[in-house]
Amino acid sequence: MSLRPAVITGVGSYVPDRVLTNADLEQIVDTTDDWIVSHTGIRERRIAADDQASSDLGLAAARRALEDAGLGPEDIPLIICATITPDHLFPVTAAFIQDGLGAPAAAYDLLSGCTGFVQALWTARQFVATGECEHVLVVSADKLTSITDWSDRSTCVLFGDGAGAAVVSAGEGDPSATGLLAFELQTYGEHGSLLRVPAGGSRRPVDQEALDAREHCLRMEGPELFKLAVRGIPDIAERSLAKAGLTYEDIDWLIMHQANLRIIEAAARRLRVPDDRLVINIDKYGNTSAASMAIALDEVYRDGRLQPGHNILMVSFGAGFSLGGAVIRWGS
Ligand code: ACO
């Protein structure tokens, strides 16, 4: 079977209007703007309204991506939504997006954290490359503030809400020279307990005891994850580049998961990618989980920095513990 190139033909993103600044957080927990900025690089984040669920954020981003691709809902046969904050345990969040768009599409979720966008692009590529679908809509949407423990200063200062989307379509030419060139993904389940929501699944259903202990909220061992990320990023990045037949010198844009500015800068130094090729928006949005890199991709595209022929290296890390790398050659 000959494979077709899979290219990104449209991107879009959406963040809620409400801004929560570090000064606002100083009123909620024992923290300071100084600590947050110096330890994370975050200055503010967006917070979804009470009546906005992840699918609402995702739907707004999806509409923008479809418009950018010049496609209508009728052109989309498959929607994949990456999220760890689904509207409900089921039906899947992608089903709400499918209904909102009115697309005659199959729709399913990829229950994953920050690596979700790369995982979903990787999945979409298979459907497009093999000829199964002409277009796949990938949506990354997270309302992390719905699982944030607002009494825990070590986590509540980190997260924000948002969504990003990309349309993956069949391209023309050599699949090794156009579009989604290469992926490398790996999960290290032995570190899974470092980032989790302890209650609410089949192992630990939510009961009063769980609620009292706030086990329905996100728990994170930040320093341990920090070390895993800084150690794991160069390896997954190198493997992704090698698979694409590229080196760091070929990279025009490094888009990393926006979890911590210190992680991004430390990794960029190790990867020998200069600062002016880094895409950074953590200062405005905090960590938006699966949405983080999709929002960053949309920003660098819409402000004109990303040009046809540019090579993008995406590197993500997060719950699992998982790592993901993607190399993309941007189309026209
Ligand atoms: N304000 C003030 N002080 C604080 C705060 C706060 N918000 N949070 C923690 N501190 C204190 C701690 O209590 C501690 O004080 P102590 O020394 O008196 O005990 C001190 O600051 C240092 O705490 P650390 O946790 O060691 O701080 P660190 O420098 O490691 O920064 C952080 C913490 C920002 C969480 C960092 O470890 C990190 O970014 N880790 C990686 C997170 C990540 O990448 N997660 C994966 C992706 S997320 C996803 O998938 C959804």
Query: In testing the pocket of ligand 1, which one of 37, 38, 39, 142 has its CB within 8 Å of the most ligand atoms?
Result: 39
Which residue's alpha carbon is nearest to atom 20 within ligand 1? 154
Does residue 190 share a domain with residue 310?
Answer: yes
Which residue's alpha carbon is nearest to atom 24 within ligand 1? 223
User: Where a domain ends, among 170, 188, 208?
Assistant: 170
- Give the pLDDT confidence score for residue 79 in this predicted structure: 98
> What span, in angstroms and rounded, lies between the C-alpha atoms of 171 and 8?
9
Does residue 184 share a domain with residue 323?
Answer: yes
Does residue 145 share a domain with residue 214?
Answer: no
Ligand 1 atom with the smallest distance to the CA of 223 is 37
Over range 9-16, report the average pLDDT: 98
Does residue 142 share a domain with residue 124?
Answer: yes
> What span, in angstroms and rounded, lies between the C-alpha atoms of 249 and 245?
12
Which residue's alpha carbon is nearest to atom 48 within ligand 1? 318
Cβ 113 under 6 angstroms from ligand 1: yes
Residue 63 pLDDT level (bands cut at 50, 70, 90): very high
Which residue's alpha carbon is nearest to atom 28 within ligand 1? 223
- Residue numbers of the domain that contains 250: 179-329
Domain total in the chain: 2
pLDDT at 240 over 90: yes
Q: Does residue 320 belong to any structural domain of this protein?
A: yes
The sheet carrying 6-14 orders its strands as 6-14, 161-170, 135-143, 78-83, 106-111
Residue 2 pLDDT level (bands cut at 50, 70, 90): confident
Over range 135-155, report the average pLDDT: 97
Q: Does residue 158 belong to any structural domain of this protein?
A: yes
List, for residues 245-276, the tens digit of each pLDDT value.
Answer: 999 999 999 999 999 999 999 999 888 899 99
Cβ 312 under 6 angstroms from ligand 1: no
Does residue 317 share a domain with residue 198?
Answer: yes
Q: Does residue 10 belong to any structural domain of this protein?
A: yes
Does residue 146 share a domain with residue 33?
Answer: yes
Q: Which residues of 210-220 are buried (b: 16+ CB within 10 A; e: fewer)?
A: beeeebbbbbb
Catalytic residue IDs: 114, 257, 287
Does residue 142 share a domain with residue 253?
Answer: no
- Give the pLDDT confidence score for residue 37 in this predicted structure: 98
Cβ 225 under 6 angstroms from ligand 1: yes
| Residue 167 tokens, joined | 């349309």
Q: Does residue 150 belong to any structural domain of this protein?
A: yes
Over range 28-34, report the average pLDDT: 97
Over range 150-168, report the average pLDDT: 97
Query: In testing the pocket of ligand 1, which one of 153, 154, 260 has its CB within 8 Å of the most ligand atoms?
Result: 154
User: Where a domain ends, among 170, 192, 210?
Assistant: 170
Cβ within 8 Å of residue 76, ≥6 positions away? 66, 101, 103, 104, 105, 135, 136, 137, 167
Cβ 229 under 6 angstroms from ligand 1: yes
Whether the Cβ atoms of residue 47 and residue 288 lie closer than 8 Å to each other: no
Q: Does residue 43 belong to any structural domain of this protein?
A: yes
Q: Does residue 1 belong to any structural domain of this protein?
A: no
Residue 332 pLDDT level (bands cut at 50, 70, 90): low
Cβ 114 under 6 angstroms from ligand 1: yes
What does the H/E/C string look like for 68-112? HHCCCHHHCCEEEEEECCCCCCCCCHHHHHHHHHCCCCEEEEEEC
Whether the Cβ atoms of residue 287 and residue 259 lie closer than 8 Å to each other: yes
Over range 25-48, report the average pLDDT: 97
Does residue 191 share a domain with residue 158?
Answer: no
Q: Which amino acid is at 191?
A: H
CATH number at residue 313: 3.40.47.10
- Give the pLDDT confidence score for residue 176 in this predicted structure: 87
User: Where a domain ends, among 139, 170, 201?
Assistant: 170
Does residue 166 share a domain with residue 43?
Answer: yes
